Structure 1
Amino acid sequence: MDDGIHDIDFDDDETSVQEKKKGPLSRPPRWRDIHPALQIFLLFVVSTLMYRGYSFGSLFPASGEAVFSGHQYWRILTSLFTHSGMTHLLSNSWLFIIFGWFLRTYFGTIVFPVLSLVLGMAGTWITLLFYDPTVNLVGASGMIHSMIGLWIVLYVRFDSDHTVPMRLFRAVGFSLAMLIPSTVQAEVSYTAHGVGFILGIAGGLLCSPFVKTGMSPEADEGDINDRSETN
């Protein structure tokens, strides 16, 4: 006989909450994915030391005269690694390492270092068009701003733990914090920063439909399944 009293099973509700999948960006990055950024940082150090200490270091910076007139196209790449000094190098490197680590962890080798380096070289090429042909460009800050732009677009695309308005709000706030300098220095190429950031946004928009996050939500913490090579 049914007395109208039924047991309420709370276990299913608790299980469903516990089993709710976290978004792919919610898990911490895996330490070994910092290695590519650290290896490139070592190239920064070596290139900067050679630029400062050896005569052939003069072949590293990029200028419109050397690249466009002299057809010395390797400078588009070597100028990214070369910095004016150790202070310049260290001021760039912490952002480079952090964003390189995150891009490599969550989006794979294609996004970092491959796409990041391509955007960095494209940014240098475009930036040279805005300067006198004799002006030398060195440093990775333009590439770093491309990486920031890439991260922002891919963050908005993949951060399923937050609503789209919240993602956009965070992205805009982060962009303003990264783009607005606290001080203005004459020797800093803010043109390279702006060009790099725009290229990063454009690159992120173009590649986001084809990128799969390398962080598997079902994996153990920090476990990465790098799928980028298949894209």
Structure 2
Amino acid sequence: MPLNILIVDDHPMTVDSYVNLLSDDSFNKTEADFYKNYNCESAYKKIQFLKNQNQNIDFAILDVNLPAYPELNILSGIDLAAVIRKTHPQCKILLLTMHTEVFIVNRVLSDIKPEGFIYKGEINFESFPSTCEKILSGETIYSSEIIKSQRAFSKKDYDWDQFDTKILSLLAKGVKTVDMPSHIPLSMSSIEKRKANIKSRLLLGRGSDTELINKARQLGLL
């Protein structure tokens, strides 16, 4: 059976380069079918189409920064990876990024647990196929910049968890702080303290909710 490989990047030439590199006879010695997409909406629809056709996605290569699909709140490659985890749980996922901010890296590693997470500046035409082959063979590959960021997060007390991410998500959806206790199991005082802590970390304590949301999106937290 051929491998079903989903590739999502907003640069068509990059997608074609990945396909060419993984089409070489020396790669994996297995025939592959490639599904090329350039934004979250088309990728989401392809993921669902394959699921409805009872076809697996064996390997997904996703850029973190992608044109969003706001109707379904799929705003990045991280969100696409979460969809794949639910719809194609056996799929191996490689995420590629130009951002190694600790909050982004921590979110990816804690929520997605990808088989591969690579800083784009650490990969080239020579290493890309071998990295993909290692992932397909069962290895977990994180590049050195990702590991460095992960260690930086572990060494500092960022005091950040899924509730902080949920608070940001609710703000982005227009939910007022006063209404949040009906959405998450926290008291109003706890939510207010967390929100103040989030603003302190992302905006150095100053800024509106809109500025906070924009900063969170910029960092890949939404």
TM-score bracket relative to the smaller structure: under 0.3
Q: Which has the higher contact order (CA 8 A, sep 6+)?
A: 1
Provide the TM-score with structure 1 as the length reference: 0.25
Q: Which has the larger radius of gyration?
A: 1
Could you say which structure has the higher strand fraction?
2
Could you say which structure has the higher helix fraction?
1
Provide the TM-score with structure 2 as the length reference: 0.26
